[in-house]
Structure formats: C-alpha cells, structure tokens
Homo-oligomer: A and B are copies of this chain.
C-alpha cells in the first residue's frame, strides 16, 4: 500500500531530456520526457491500444509515437493520430500524470490529478539555494522504501556502517532529541567537542575537535533533509568548518524496491570541483554501504513470519513516528476513496446516468 495523493521524485531534473525514459513508481510503469519547450511530461508507459511500452517508441514533436502501431499521443494524453485510420475512438487516451520540476528534481503525482497541488511538494529548498553547490544521484535499492526512511531517521548507524566516512563513536554515543510537528518528524543530535569523522577531516582539513549537529527533518511520505554542521569546538563558525545539507527522497518502485534520490548541497568551497568530486564519491560509497545492509535486511523480513514484531528502542522514536504518519495518511486516503465511491451522485452524474 502506497500513498498516492502526494508528490514523488520521478527523476533528477538533469537526466530528463528529449528522450523517452522509463521509471517504475509505486508499481506503475511511467514514461518521462521533456516537451519541446522543456516542460517535463509523464504518461503511463502502456499504450491504451495494446499496452505496448510507449517508452520503446519515439518523440514526434510534442507527441509520443507508440513504437508498435504508430499511434501518437499529445502531452494531455489525447490520441492525435492512428496510422491508416481516420476516426479516433474517444476512449483511446493515455494516462497523464501531473509533473513539476522543483528543487533539482522532477516530481510526479500518481493519485487523483484534481488534487495535485504544487504547494504540497516537500520543502527541499536547499537543493536550489543561490550560492550553494549541489552534487547527487540516484540509486536503485532492493528494499522497501521505509527501510530507507528508518535508516535516515536514526543516524546511529553511521558509527557502524560508515566508519570510513561520516561515522565515528561520537554519533552512537550521543542521544537524540525527537519530536513530531504536524505531519513532520524532527530529530536532532548535537555532539559537542568530538573528533571529526574521516570525511569531515578530508574535506575541511579539520585537525582538532568539533561541535557537530545533525538536524533531521522528515516530510511524508519519504523526504528527509539533514542539516549537517561541524565547526571547530566553540566557534560556531561556518567559515572554518563544514555545513551541508544531505537531501534525500525515496520513491517506491514497488513493495520491495525503490529509487533513492540523494544530494549533498554545501555553502563552502562552492567552486572547488575537486571538493565536489571528493564529496560525491565518498557519499556514494557511504550510501552503497547502506544498500548492502538494507538489501540483506529486506531479505530477512521477506523470509520471516509475516507478523513477527520488532523490538524498538529509544533511538527508533523518529522512524516509528514517520511510519505512523505514513500509515495514518494512507488510511485516510483509503477512507476518502471509499467515501467517494459510495457518494451521492452529483447532478451531472445523474443526468449522464439517465
């Protein structure tokens, strides 16, 4: 069960162009491209005629031409040409999904298009901040998307999974403060006067101890931004230390796999390409360590008795809270749909029905 009436990342803005690209999102195949004017467009990747994959066809101007029988669909999903036929059955429409480019990524609304509201896109503004430098990518992970939100809401694991880059003993030893704010979860860990982890040293030549912050914000269903700071102890001086945001949004492919979109966006050494490369490669290596742990965890869950409970500890407050928020939103959405299906028909519907 996935939340449908919400925005998911469908692709990085940079990877989308005048080429048909396929992505699977909450179990559905989607074909993505840019119109001639550069607007991102998304359709169900099934031709309404015989369900051929539209992504195997080609772009003809602002239409998608199916690669099988050559039917063409415009950006509204309307069929505008059937080779060799003059009449177009009105039902022959491709499903189109609302898409919006924002915060470095292209977002898709898989639910009721009438409810798609750009204002509901998670606030990940640090991906697009003037004067900040972004690097990032996307990883396919064979694990349920909530294993990733769990992962990002309890960074204790950095000590054990990421000792080569961003983890050290200080992380696991320092308790977190967590709170629920509406539909968001905020988790914070402040480590005073602790040794910097290996990557911080390499990136900013930190030699002595630092004060270190991890300020985590979860926005449902699966966006997590982490305000990470490490300044020489007592200085609170970004100039001498490190500050970046780790921005993460996870899009379910299906129940057992997901696409993990990530960036690191920083406000120091903005034009230093070597630093960008260093951060990119080290964070990618860090996340590949997570993939290894999470894919094994997924296998253990799949092979376990279906309703075997987990034992939670204090550090799980944030991830458990986030799961409950998603559960509540999914439940509410299902109730809304049920109400709609049993609703008193509108006057228009009554007219149609008679």
Residues in A lying within 8 Å of B, measured CB to CB: 27-29, 45-46, 48-53, 56-57, 65-70, 82-85, 87, 89, 91-92, 150, 154, 156-157, 159-161, 172-175, 292-293, 296-297, 299-301, 303-304, 310-315
Distance between A187 CB and nearest chain B CB, rounded to angstroms = 13
Additional 14 contacts, C-beta under 8 A, given A69-B172, A70-B156: A28-B303, A29-B300, A46-B304, A50-B297, A51-B300, A51-B304, A52-B293, A56-B296, A82-B313, A84-B173, A85-B314, A89-B311, A92-B311, A92-B313
The answer to whether B27 and A84 have CB atoms under 8 Å apart is no
Distance between A57 CB and nearest chain B CB, rounded to angstroms = 8
How many copies of this kind of chain does the complex include? 3
The answer to whether B311 and A49 have CB atoms under 8 Å apart is yes
Residues of B within 8 A of A50 (CB): 150, 297, 310
Distance between A22 CB and nearest chain B CB, rounded to angstroms = 9
Q: 21 A-B contacts, Cβ less than 8 Å apart? A: A27-B303, A28-B303, A45-B300, A48-B311, A49-B313, A50-B150, A51-B300, A52-B296, A53-B293, A53-B299, A56-B293, A66-B160, A67-B161, A68-B161, A69-B156, A70-B157, A82-B313, A83-B156, A83-B159, A83-B172, A91-B311
Q: Which residue of B lies closest to A189 (CB)?
A: B84
Complex CA distance for A161 and B82, rounded to whole angstroms: 15
Complex CA distance for A89 and B53, rounded to whole angstroms: 52
Residues of B within 8 A of A173 (CB): 83-84
Complex CA distance for A157 and B92, rounded to whole angstroms: 18
Residues of B within 8 A of A156 (CB): 69-70, 83-84
**Best-buried of A50, A157, A159, A160 by chain B (most CB within 10 Å):** A50
Complex CA distance for A57 and B160, rounded to whole angstroms: 9
CB contact between A315 and one of B45, B85, B310 (< 8 Å): that residue: B85
Q: Which residue of B lies closest to A319 (CB)?
A: B50
Q: Which residue of B lies closest to A310 (CB)?
A: B50
Q: Which residue of B lies closest to A46 (CB)?
A: B300
- Please name the 7 residue pairs, one residue from A and one from B, whose CB atoms are nearest each other, closest first: A83-B172, A53-B296, A70-B160, A51-B300, A46-B300, A92-B311, A52-B297
Task: Given A46-B304, A50-B150, check contact A313 B85 (CB 8 Å).
Answer: yes
Complex CA distance for A311 and B161, rounded to whole angstroms: 52
Task: Given A53-B296, A300-B51, check contact A157 B314 (CB 8 Å).
Answer: no
